Structure 1
Amino acid sequence: MTYVLLIVGFALLIKGADYFVEGASSIARALKVSPLLIGLTIVAFGTSSPEATVSIVAALEENAGVAVGNVVGSNIFNITLVVGLTALINPLTVENETIRKEIPFTFLASAVLLVLISDAALHGFNENFITRSDGLIFLLFFSIFLYYIFEVARKSREAVKEEKETRETVSWSKNGLLTIGGLAAIIFGGELVVNHATEIAYSFGMSETLVGLTIVAVGTSLPELITSITAAMKRESEIALGNIVGSNIFNIFFVLGSASVISPLAVDSKIYIDVLLLMMITVVLFIFSRTHFTIGKREGFILSVAYILYMVYILMRN
């Protein structure tokens, strides 16, 4: 039954993502808001809800290894395999704002995480913790990001208003149902996949930290993967990349912030290397994005291979 429910979860993720992208992009056009903004907000927050659910529940159950490993592993998965596979399907066009602001903000999120988990190195403590005050710092950065998004929304609407008006008829009820129904399917499907994949992993004797970085991280990132691939196939590349960048910022600042405010999180020393790798691949993403403002198939292949090598490394390490 566990394997059957796992397959049902995958089916819900795939179909839910298809409906969600269709509804969200239609609403974006109707509201005269850029697809990139929709990718950074509704799509990013929606597809990150499994990470939020898993990490907050893990914090409540005092399972910090899963909570932190889930976020770091998901972000690495997003930048490498999600961007890589999406670019292999259809090269991603990168907007100037994404290169100048959103990707650097993603790097900042990883840098802040590295500093806040370095209690032993910076303060001489015996253990590393993400404390409640650290959580409040994360949430403060998240509020700054939200303010930036609202500014982008205002400017994008003003820019669209200046363009020629189209007479496209929009079915609000249909697109609203597609978006909400798709999001519900993504969240429910993601939870089915995570719960049953984790159950299978534990049955094979995997450690909690390894489960957090691999099975749970991949499972909670499946919505980002499916949504970005679906967006790329529909040639909505702004939604695809905006979804990934927005999700990574959301995961660190909101998910870890909320989880650590609920219950301080003890940090495994092994996670340092993973956070440093996350920062490195964010820099690589920035460099690739600067190349003709496109992430092409060659870059997509490199990022996909990077994730496979990372998986081999952490399996050997654990």
Structure 2
Amino acid sequence: MAYILLIIGFGLLIKGADLFVDGSSNIAKLLRVPSILIGLTIVAFGTSSPEATVSIIAALEGSADVALGNVVGSNIFNITLVAGVAAFLYPLRVENETIRKEIPFTLLASAALLILMSDIALQGSGSNLLTRNDGFIFLLFLSIFMYYVIEIGLKSRKDTADEPVTEEISWGKNILITILGLAAIIFGGDLVVANGTEIAYSLGMSETLVGLTIIAIGTSLPELVTSVSAALKKESEIALGNIVGSNIFNILFVLGASASISPLAANDKMFIDVILMIVLTIILLVFSRTSFKVGKREGLVLVAAYIIYLVYIILRN
């Protein structure tokens, strides 16, 4: 039964992503804002909802490793496999603002995570802990990022105020399509994580390994199918905005909310994963600076990086 539900989950994810990209792309046109901003906000927040659900429930149940591992594992998956596959299918065009501000903001959020969880090294504490205060700091960072995105959106809307909408697009229909797509993504992601985890345990995988692989990959499937779907529709700005925005939301919102609910203990192994996440974000930034796009070759390098990382964590655990 678990295998059947897993296949249904994948089906919902794929169809949901298709509807979600279409609806959100049309909403961007109606709002007269660049697609990248929709990717950074509505799409990124929507596709990050499975991570939020899993990590917040894990925090409430006292499973800090699952809450933290889910976010870090998901972000590495997004930067490498999601960006890599999307770029291989259709080169991702990178806006100057994305290179100068959005990807560096992801880097800043990742560095903040590393600093805030380094209590033993920086303060001589008995354990490394993301406290409630740290959670509130993340949420404060998120509010600054949202202010920046809204300000850019309003400026863009003002600049294009006189431009007519070229096609007949209805608000009601596209809001409905977007909500239905998001619901299918969340429900499909939940089915994939629950049944994938059940299958993994039945095959004898450890809890730590399940957290870093099945749960992290499962909760990132919405980002993967959404970005791939956007790339195939040549909506490369939504594809890249989704990846960058999801990583920002995962650290600032998901970990911020989780740590505010219940302090999260960070084990020693997690430091290597966070450092790898920072290095991979820098690599994505470097790739983005080459001709303002992430092309097929860079995509293959990113996919290879994820395969190497996956082999490493399987051997490590």
TM-score interval, smaller chain: over 0.9
CA distance in 1, matches of 2:267, 2:209: 11
1:230-268 Cα deviation digits (max 9, x unpaired): 000100000000000000000000000100111111111
Question: Which deviates further from its counterpart, 74-83 or 152-161?
Answer: 152-161
> Aligned residue for 1:117?
117
Give the distance between the partners of 1:167 and 1:54, measured in 2 at CA: 41
Using the TM superposition, give the Cα deviation of residue 167 of structure 1 relative to its aligned residue in structure 2, in angstroms.
4.4
Amino acid at match of 1:39: G
2:249 matches 1:250: yes
Task: Output one character per residue of 1:103-131: Cα deviation in whole Å (capped at 9) or x when no partner.
Answer: 00000011000001101111112211111
**Counterpart residue identity of residue 68, structure 2:** V
Aligned partner of 2:291 in structure 1 is: 292
Structure 2 partner of 1:42: 42
Extract structure 1 runs of 4+ deviating beyond 6 A.
Answer: none
Provide the TM-score with structure 1 as the length reference: 0.98
Give the letter aligned to residue 81 of structure 1.
L
Q: How does 1:112-191 map to 2 (within 5 A)?
A: 112-162=112-162, 164-191=163-190
Q: Secondary structure at the match of 1:161?
A: coil
Pairing of 1:4-153 with structure 2 (within 5 A): 4-153=4-153
Give distance in 1, aligned partners of 2:308 and 2:221: 19
**Match of 1:236?**
235
Amino acid paired to 1:303? L
In 2, Cα distance between equivalents of 1:101 and 1:167: 30
Does the CA-based 8 Å contact 1:65-1:208 persist in structure 2? no
Query: Where do 5+ consecutive residues of structure 1 fail to align?
Result: none
**How far apart are residue 176 of structure 1 and its match?**
1.4
Aligned-residue offset at 1:200: 1.5
| Structure 1 counterpart SS, 2:268 | coil
Counterpart in the other structure of 2:316: 317
Once the two structures are TM-superposed, the CA of residue 196 in structure 1 deviates from its matched residue by: 1.0
Structure 2 distance, partners of 1:285, 1:303, is: 8
Question: TM-score, normalised on structure 2?
Answer: 0.98
Q: Does the 8 Å CA contact 2:30/2:165 hold for their aligned counterparts?
A: no
Please state if 1:307 is matched with 2:303.
no
Q: Is 254-263 or 124-133 further displaced after alignment?
A: 124-133
- Equivalent position of 1:192 in the other structure: 191
- 1:205 maps to 204
List runs of 5+ in structure 2 lacking aligned partners: none
Determine the C-alpha separation between the residues in 2 that align with 1:199 and 1:126.
Answer: 35
| Distance across 1 between alignment mates of 2:172 and 2:151 | 27
Match of 2:217 in 1: 218
